[in-house]
Chain A
Amino acid sequence: MEPLDERRLLLTRRRFFGRAAGSLGAGLGALALEQLLGPAKLFAAPSRPVRPAGPGGDFAPAPHFAPKAKRVIYMHMEGGPSQLDLWDHKPGLRERFDLDLPDSVRNGQRLTGMTSGQARFPVAPSAFKFTRYANAQDGAWISELMPHTGALAHELCFVHSMHTEAINHEPAITFFQTGNQQPGRPSFGAWTSYGLGSANANLPTFVVLITQGFGNMQALSARFWGSGFLPSEHQGCKLRSAGDPVLYLKDPAGVTREDRRRMLDLVGEFNAREAQESLDPEVRTRIAQYEMAYRMQMSVPELTDFSDEDEETLSLYGPEVKKPGTFAANCLLARRLAERGVRFVQLYMRGWDQHGNLPGEMRLQAAAVDQPQAALIQDLRRRGLLEDTLILWGGEFGRTCYSQGALTTSDYGRDHHPRCFTIWMAGGGVKRGISYGKTDDFSYNIVENPVEVHDLHATLLHLLGFDHRRLVFPHQGRDFRLTDVSGRVIPELVA
């Protein structure tokens, strides 16, 4: 190396802060695009070829074995929907209305600060009627709040015995999304993107869509779809529901597509030179992401334009489908993303945190998701996409069988309950029409086949073709993985 170049490359204080400022987006003033492109990382670990190479060299990663699912649609119900009022039918509780939860059931387990001061814990049976729908076993009891989903019971795989370590929203969502309660690890979608790569070079590999709910809503941090220590190209891209789906994606007035191309070519040249000198992999990521953004200028407007959908399909998703940002619109968008090869679509439905007003609020929450999510499954199925699209539905924890606050004949609330709750899956290699795991008569403890979050992650990765112990990334001196040092694939859930 030339001595002058060497001198120039020495890390000076000025250079250090100059870069830090650039990575915060202050220099560019385009924060939204910055979010899409990902902040450059100062000390990003150099990637080594832990991913298996494709037949032509390192051009495409491949799963460890032939996968059952090629893509994931993960419907996260933020807040923790009550399993007792939706999926985990406990008719015996109706004979215990307003009686105290027996100490032998609670067994001194921890409570949140919201109910630990309550003098008593009165049992609140669900106010909703249940129907038993036929499935591959002896039927699934499903609440009147989910009639459309119930009619698809033969497609669904219920896990009634999920449990988690966290009792508050933020760590619980972080745990579900990243396999760890502490922030900083890559999200499940980022791992999927890292392991499988993109199947459509014109769109991000991992897309996030958010729907506002009713009642109490918790904050959704962007790190829930972050890439942690993985290269930043793997982080989720949030599509906005109002206005432009991606800010600053449109060229400003007076700038033609040719102008934009010329500008990117020149910037690309500078960046390539920088990448050669600094050997920083994040510069390469940045070049690739600018090119991706250029192609997204064409692909995103086409993606979000529903005018090519016929009336029959629109009506399948229900009356709210034409309103951007609703769960119905996002479910339809998820189908359009899936058929365009996007690997991981994360739908967030906010507002399942019913500490009070539960019967009145849950009707709204359920009405917002029931028909659209059932439509999504049907619509994928008839297009031949359901068999290799893995669908996951669930919150970050469940809710208590005792009432938070006053229990009256017309109203009750439920506190957070991490010790047991229900999730369901469908499609991509999952056993159809079954229920797995059991809770006790109070839906308070698990009595059969407990499934922890790491087990669920291991099983999902298995369906995507990965041995969860081998999908690793070296960071801070050890090989990290989504399941950390735990996780067991649950064969009973796999078709």
Chain B
Amino acid sequence: MSSSGFSRRGVQLGLWPFVAVLGGTLALGAALAVGAWLCFVDGAIESLAGRESTEDIRAALGEPAAPVLPEPSTYDAAIRPILDAKCAGCHGGEKQKGELSLATREAMQAGGKHGPAVDATMPRLGLMLARISLPVDDDDHMPPGEEDQLTAEELAVLRHWLEQGAPFEGRLAGSPEFHAAGVEQASAGRAGSAEAPGKSAPAADGPPAADASALAALQQALVHVQPLSEGSPLLWIDFAAVASTLDDARARQLLAPLALQVADLSLARSPVGDPTLELLAGFPELRRLDVRATRVGAAGLTALSKHSRLAELVISQNPLGDGCLDALLSMPALARLHAWRADLSPEGLARLRAARPGLLLDDGAVPPSAALEAETEVKFTKPVGAAEIVPPSAGNGGALQGSLAPANTKCPVSGAPVVAKFSIVHEGRVIGFCCPECPKQFWADPAKFLDRLQ
């Protein structure tokens, strides 16, 4: 069904009563004029009917075309040359710094000592994307600051490829417009390839589609299940709606048939424990696991300790203690850990940080941003001739602490009862007024009214 079909019917239905009323009350000529107008509307819609998408309309309105990928937009033509030129010197056949080679697809997926370079399932967890996106002066930025850098255009294309899940076969979908803001592209008019964007993410050898009856069972149980993205067989599952009534047997029963598809799982705030984690050890695609405030223990984490893809783990609000450190330390792909109120000792946290310098570890005690410099006073001056001006904040300073309710019950200007929303702060005190006009009189000479506050 084309959109034009809806539109024409919609217009005619909507205007019919209008025409009928006009026909009944006005001269025939007016009704005829309306009829002619209807024909005109019909014609205008006809001219849009040939355009199927907002994309075409955008083009018709003369909006700038998106920058495009090099042609042909395949891995071999668009991506490989960039890697060869800018990366292969250190991560290629001869040198393999950080035990990482980018020479082959297998080598990229296997990764180096810090983890896989690319991740087709959750692209942001791939290290290449993370490293090329860092500021140039960051120690972890790639290529290193002293080396030949990626051009803005190369960066845009490479990021686009990585965010699509680093597909090695077929043409790249969409256009790198998003990554290439500010990159001038000479060849206008081509808005990316015609293939549906996003479809390229799961490779041909990816996991099979999930079993429909297993998905239906989850839905029946009011468990949230959603594909990671359009066309992907991989799943995000969240038990939030049924957390309080879940148990290990039920969780295992619902999850077991989806072992090959679960990539992102939240069991947070449910009374599940180690038996469920033991099941998850056999889920090869699991990237992110949230077991905050559950009943998991060190044994369950130990079961997961050899998981090759688990990159993000939330164990906050489980009294695990240092007994779980060995399991955490041996998780090869772990990149982010939330361990607030997990009873890890300061020594344990230090051990974790020392052994895994790249790990983003949040124990709930993140120091506040430092105050680099603070103004101590506000001073107003007039540049020429005028006298020094007393700053308004002189008698006004000091952040307000405590209650936001006014301390006085009567307006200091009028004596009428205070209306709480007409309040101001003066010298750290909340002063209420009866109306929005009285504060203006108050500001004109605060001293005059202050003694009326007692």
Contacts and interface: CB of A to CB of B under 8 A. Distances in A.
Answer whether A and B are interacting partners.
Answer: yes
Interface of A: 43, 45, 48, 52, 54-57, 59-68, 70, 91, 94-99, 125-136, 139, 144-145, 147, 150-154, 196-203, 212-217, 299, 319-320, 339-341, 351, 356-357, 359-361, 363-364, 367-368, 378, 381-384, 387, 405, 408-412, 429, 433, 462, 465, 467, 469-470, 472, 474, 476-479, 481, 485-486, 488-492, 495
Nearest to A59: B219
Interface of B: 1, 3-4, 6-8, 10-11, 13-14, 45, 48, 53-55, 57-58, 61, 63, 121-124, 133, 135, 163-165, 174, 177-181, 197-198, 201, 209-210, 212, 215-216, 219, 222, 224-233, 235-236, 238, 240-241, 261, 268-269, 290, 292, 312, 314, 316-317, 336, 338, 340, 362, 364, 366, 368-383, 389-393, 395-397, 399-400, 402-404, 420-426, 430-431, 436, 439-440, 443-444, 446
B129 to A, nearest CB: 10
Given A127-B378, A367-B399, A62 B369 contact: no
Contacts of A201: 222, 224, 241
Contacts of A199: 224, 226, 238, 240-241
B368 to A, nearest CB: 4
The 4 A-B residue pairs with the shortest CB-CB distance in the complex, in nearest-first order: A477-B7, A360-B424, A384-B314, A411-B443
A55 B209 CA distance: 7
Contact of B241 (A48, A91, A200, A213): A200
B426 A360 contact: yes
Contact of A409 (B13, B178, B215, B391): B391
A357 B423 CA distance: 9
A154 B215 CA distance: 40
B373 A132 contact: yes
Contact of A215 (B6, B368, B421, B430): B421
Contacts of A367: 399-400, 404, 425
B227 A54 contact: yes
B230 A154 contact: no
Given A144-B399, A357-B439, A410-B446, A477 B45 contact: yes
B198 A382 contact: no
B227 A55 contact: yes
Contacts of B397: 129, 144
18 contacts: A45-B6, A60-B227, A64-B229, A65-B229, A127-B378, A139-B372, A144-B399, A147-B399, A154-B369, A198-B224, A199-B241, A299-B241, A339-B269, A356-B436, A360-B424, A360-B443, A363-B399, A410-B396
A201 B218 CA distance: 12
Contacts of A57: 212
A73 B344 CA distance: 31
A65 B164 contact: yes
Given A56-B212, A132-B374, A199-B226, 17 more contacts: A55-B210, A55-B215, A61-B226, A64-B229, A66-B229, A94-B378, A130-B375, A133-B371, A151-B368, A215-B436, A341-B241, A357-B424, A361-B424, A361-B439, A474-B6, A485-B63, A491-B180
Contact of B436 (A52, A65, A216, A340): A216
A134 B371 CA distance: 6
Contacts of B421: 212-215, 217, 351
Nearest to A338: B240
Given A62-B232, A356-B436, A383-B292, A409 B372 contact: no
B181 A491 contact: yes
Nearest to A136: B135
A411 B392 contact: yes
Contact of B376 (A129, A198, A216): A129
A155 to B, nearest CB: 8
B54 A472 contact: yes
A202 B221 CA distance: 11
B444 A408 contact: yes
B453 to A, nearest CB: 14
Contacts of A492: 181
A62 B3 contact: no
Given A360-B439, A384-B338, A134 B369 contact: yes
Given A131-B373, A477-B3, A477-B6, A340 B381 contact: no
A192 to B, nearest CB: 13
A45 B268 CA distance: 38
Contacts of A127: 378, 391-393, 396
A307 B241 CA distance: 19
A201 B163 CA distance: 30
A477 B8 contact: yes
B373 to A, nearest CB: 5
Contacts of A128: 378, 393
A491 B378 contact: no
A49 to B, nearest CB: 11
Contacts of B10: 45, 476-477
Contact of A129 (B4, B316, B374): B374
B86 to A, nearest CB: 20
Centre residue among B58, B399, B431 by max chain A CB count within 10 A: B399
Contact of B227 (A62, A133, A154, A410): A62
A481 B54 contact: yes
A64 B35 CA distance: 43
Centre residue among B53, B375, B381, B383 by max chain A CB count within 10 A: B375
A97 B45 CA distance: 57
B39 to A, nearest CB: 16
Contacts of A63: 229-230
Given A99-B382, A384-B314, A485-B61, A495 B133 contact: yes
Nearest to B165: A66
A357 B389 contact: no
Contacts of B317: 383
Given A129-B393, A477-B4, A492-B181, A98 B382 contact: yes
Contacts of B381: 94-95, 97
B210 A56 contact: yes
Contacts of B373: 131-132
B107 to A, nearest CB: 23
Contacts of A462: 178
A153 B374 CA distance: 14
A96 B425 contact: no
A134 B232 CA distance: 40
A56 B230 CA distance: 12
Nearest to A481: B54
Centre residue among A151, A196, A217 by max chain B CB count within 10 A: A151
Contact of B216 (A45, A56, A384): A56
Nearest to B224: A199
A85 to B, nearest CB: 11
B379 A202 contact: no
Given A382-B338, A474-B3, A59 B425 contact: no
A383 B314 contact: yes
Contacts of A405: 440
Contacts of A66: 121-124, 165, 201, 228-229, 232
A364 B58 contact: no
A57 B403 CA distance: 54
Contacts of B371: 131-134, 150
B215 A56 contact: yes
A18 to B, nearest CB: 17
Centre residue among A136, A356, A367, A477 by max chain B CB count within 10 A: A477
A359 B369 contact: no
Given A134-B372, A364-B400, A477-B11, A55 B391 contact: no
Given A127-B396, A382-B338, A477-B11, A465 B229 contact: yes
Contacts of A95: 380-383
A126 B383 CA distance: 17
Contact of B392 (A96, A341, A359, A383): A359
B349 to A, nearest CB: 14
B6 A357 contact: no
B411 to A, nearest CB: 14
Contact of A357 (B53, B312, B379, B436): B436
